[in-house]
Each structure stands twice: as C-alpha cells, then as structure tokens.
Structure 1
C-alpha cells in the first residue's frame, strides 16, 4: 500500500494540503501519516528535570489529541469513513526536517504533501521555510499545494524538461500512478535552445528508462524556446488546462537558484497550481 506523509503545523496554510492528502489517499488506496514536529516546551532552563518531563508529557498528549481531532475533522469534511482512508498520527519531538526524514525512512513513505501560502513573492513562501527545507532533503517526491487551490484531481499534467533528456528520478512510479488514477493527459514541455527539435518525447529516453511505462499513456510533446519563457509557459498552461506541474531540478544544492528563475516563479506563483517535485534517486 502506498503511504503519504502529511506534515501539519495546524496552520491555515497547511490545512488545504492535508485535505488534498486525504483525497489522494482515497483515490490511490493509500494510507496517510499525519505528522507534527513538536518543539521543546517553554520551560525555564533552571527548572528541575521532573518539571520538564511533566510539561513535555502534557504537551505531547495535547498535541496528539489535536492531531487526531484534525484527522477526524478532515474525514468529516470529505464525508469519509475511517475504513475508506487509513491513517495514523505521529508527534515527533525533533526539528522539522529531522522529524520528516525520520518518518520518511521509518514509515516507508512514498509521497510527501505540503502546503505553501501562494504569496506573490516566491522567496517569501519558500526560502527558509519548512517546504523549501524538505525540497532540498526529501528522498521521495514532494507535492506542494497552494493554500487556495481547489483540488479536483489531475486531468492534465505538464512535465517540464529543462534539458533535452528524460532524467532518471525518484517518484516516476508515483507520477505514473497519479496519471493512471485520474486518467490524465500528460503534456511534456521541453525548453529548447538553438533551434533544437524533437518529434516525440519518447526519443529522449534511454533503452532501460524508467519512463517507458509513463510514455505508454496519452501524451503530447511541446517545445518552448528559452527566449519565449515565461510568456510561452502561460500560453501552454491555458491551452492544456494543466492542473499539475512536474519539476525535476538538476541539482538539489541549487534550489535557491532554480526558484529564483522567472520561469519557476511563473509556475509556482502566477500559475496558481500544485507542483510535484521529483528528486534525484538516492
């Protein structure tokens, strides 16, 4: 069974992402793991150890109850029974990134679903935030959901290729599952330079490429000159009615550079749609 990690800090920004996580779990027959990374309780440094343990235990109990209440609230909102979507809740008393990586490994997570505020300035959303931190570090695909997004499935998916190749990435199987579940049309958008041409994206795969099964699904191949982005991107999104964009940055160490590009800002901010980040294979 697929397993979806849904981190939550109980904020309104993250609420929509947890809602989407439950909807995806129902569609994919997956289990949701709700996780809250709990900070240390505010106890004066000079306090006895027994006081710290007492306050800590009480904070853990309250947070666990709140997490269970939120999960039940999501079931009620979606009119779901517990049997329709399996879930579990975890409170991890470590910093956010460490907590998420720990849970990804221990719970065999296949996909992480997180929210973003959708501000007009991308760096204000991501740089220094929990979302960007997990983008840098997650070994599994990350689905970023704008707080204002109204989820209605993914019937048209744009896959952005920033080079003339289909890179090997973690999460291609997850992308394939999503495409199959929602009977999605895939739109490969290839950024080109110096008049490069390709008739079909399948020409770019290696003989043993993990993209082979994905490419058996209905798809289109679209070329966009670097000089025409991001204007051409807006036209592509409108023409294909895309509801999800797949990004595959070249290096995990240059997230800040990637997300400072005009094209990426168009995708993440002005396009107002979810992003699926496929990381390098570990």
Structure 2
C-alpha cells in the first residue's frame, strides 16, 4: 500500500478521518493525497474565461487544503506527544470542481490509489437511500478498499479486527491479500465471523472448502473463525463487535437498489446508520472476482 486518498470537506469528521489516514500511512510507509471537491458559489463574470476561473479556484482551494494538512499534522504531533511522529508522511493535495463521488472515483483511477479514507455520518436507512450516501456509494463502486470513519470515534490502534463475511460467497478465486497485509501491519487479532440466518442454513452449509480458502489467504497471519446464528445479520455483527471490543469492522458490501435500501435490506447500510467502529469496505468483487478476458478465453478453449 503506497497511496492513500483522503476525502476532505473541512468538517470535524474529515479531520478525524485524516488522523486515521496519517496513522495508517505512517505504519505502511505510504503517502497521502487529500482531495476536496467543490462547486463555486457563483458563476464566473462574463468577461472572464470559465476555464481560467475554474483553474484559479482549484489552485486557491489546493493551497488552502495543503495548509489544512499542515495544521492538522502539527496538531496531531502535539496530541501524540511525539513532535516528529508524522514527518515522514508525504502529502499531496487535489482540489477539483465537481461532485465528491465522481471526483473520488476519478482520482482513484488516475492516481493509482490503494486505499480511500472518508468520514462517515450515521443516518437511518430511508434517509441514506433518499438523500444518497457518498461514502456508501463510493464503497459500492470503488475498485480499492474504502475505510469509513464514524463521526465522534477517535483513532484507536487496530488491536482487534472483525471480518464479517458470508463464507458461502467465498470463491476459490477470492483475493484477501489486502486484508491479510493490513492485519499483519497492525499486528492485530483477526476474528472472522460467519452468521447463519436460520438453522436450515446451519445444517446444510458445507464449510470445508471456504475454510480451506481462508487458510490459504491468511497463511501469514493468525486468525480465529467464529460461527453464530442470528436472523438479523447486522444486529448480530454489532453484538459481536461489542463482545470482542473490536476496533475495526471489515465487510464486503454488496450492491443494493434504492428499493432494497428503503426496505432496510442492506447490511452495510444498517451498520453505517449506527456505527460502533470504523468500517473497512473491501471491493464488492473481492470474494468472487470477475474473470478477465484472457481467463474467459482460456476457459472457453478448455471447454
């Protein structure tokens, strides 16, 4: 992990997200790129070129963003009691006119970002579905992991990490290297959680192959497998987090329609509505990666 993107809107929540990003970057030896997306308060004067005005606005916003990063780096040094704790973390800034969602996804691709860090505000499922949640939307579309930092929850060393996963969706081609490296970097205690919704699932699901895949994926880190029975998966995950006193929850969000969100069927949406800890969302195809064109051709030839 070399490049971490941090979404900044100058709220206290984004300051907190920046703290998380600095801590991760320091440990991973990564650099930070801060992005601020904005819309102008008014249209440019008719006598001026719109392109020139936009460029001037972006440059000015960029300078303000760099100053914001420097001020927060100094503040974090004072809070930690270690004057040079984050001095080795390089910081770049990007200020772009436009919507946050679009500019974040655009920057991920253009700058080869490895991890996105964003603030996360709670809200009921209906509110998230109707008004839209930038963080959840980025989680569902991003090709890289997204760390969502809840409002009012300060950074705490990731000592215990819970990976809540539906093992029935874990294919032989699943790629969990990012999570394995992340857990290893923090020397964390990884708790893998699989919840059955009912007894029928519990009695019919064969865990042999999924557990073998986990062994292969997590061969370099210690981990514990936990099984439970809970009709309400989101509630069951939250309860497990409390029991284990976890510092971070890891999920693989699945794509849901607006109607499904309104009907409260999104586990990720329900958890982000009332977050207890930071949430690391792995890309939606982590468990079942799509075939590349070459792999598809090889498969067809074999058939």
Corresponding position of 1:196: 202
Q: Deviations over 1:206-264 (max 9, x none)?
A: 6xx587242442211111223264554344222211111111134x3448736924854
Deviation at 1:114, TM superposition (A): 0.5
Distance (Å, rounded) in 1 between the aligned partners of 2:165 and 2:132: 26
Q: TM-score, normalised by structure 1?
A: 0.83
Deviation at 1:138, TM superposition (A): 0.9
RMSD of equivalent CA atoms: 3.1
Deviation at 1:5, TM superposition (A): 0.6
Contact 1:63 1:91 in 2 (8 A): yes
Please identify, of 160-169 and 131-140, the stretch whose mean Cα deviation from structure 2 is larger: 160-169
Q: Which residue of 127, 141, 153 maps to 1:149?
A: 153
CA gap of 1:137–1:165, structure 2 versus 1, over 3 A, is closer
| Structure 1: 5+ residue stretches without partners | none
Number of residue equivalences: 275
Q: Which residue of 35, 57, 67 maps to 1:59?
A: 57
Corresponding position of 1:24: 24
Corresponding position of 2:107: 103
Distance (Å, rounded) in 2 between the aligned partners of 1:81 and 1:154: 18
For 1:20-169, what aligned pairs fall within 5 Å after superposition?
A: 20-43=20-43, 47-48=45-46, 50=48, 52-53=50-51, 55-79=53-77, 80=84, 83-119=87-123, 121-124=124-127, 128-167=132-171
CA gap of 1:217–1:262, structure 2 versus 1, over 3 A, is same
CA gap of 1:23–1:263, structure 2 versus 1, over 3 A, is same
Distance (Å, rounded) in 2 between the aligned partners of 1:205 and 1:228: 23
Corresponding position of 2:227: 223
Contact 1:3 1:109 in 2 (8 A): yes
Q: Deviations over 1:164-194 (max 9, x none)?
A: 3425566x33222220111111111112241
Alignment of 1:185 onto 2:189: yes
CA gap of 1:227–1:51, structure 2 versus 1, over 3 A, is closer
CA gap of 1:262–1:225, structure 2 versus 1, over 3 A, is farther
More helix by share: 2
CA gap of 1:274–1:50, structure 2 versus 1, over 3 A, is same
Q: TM-score, normalised by structure 2?
A: 0.77
Deviation at 1:57, TM superposition (A): 4.0
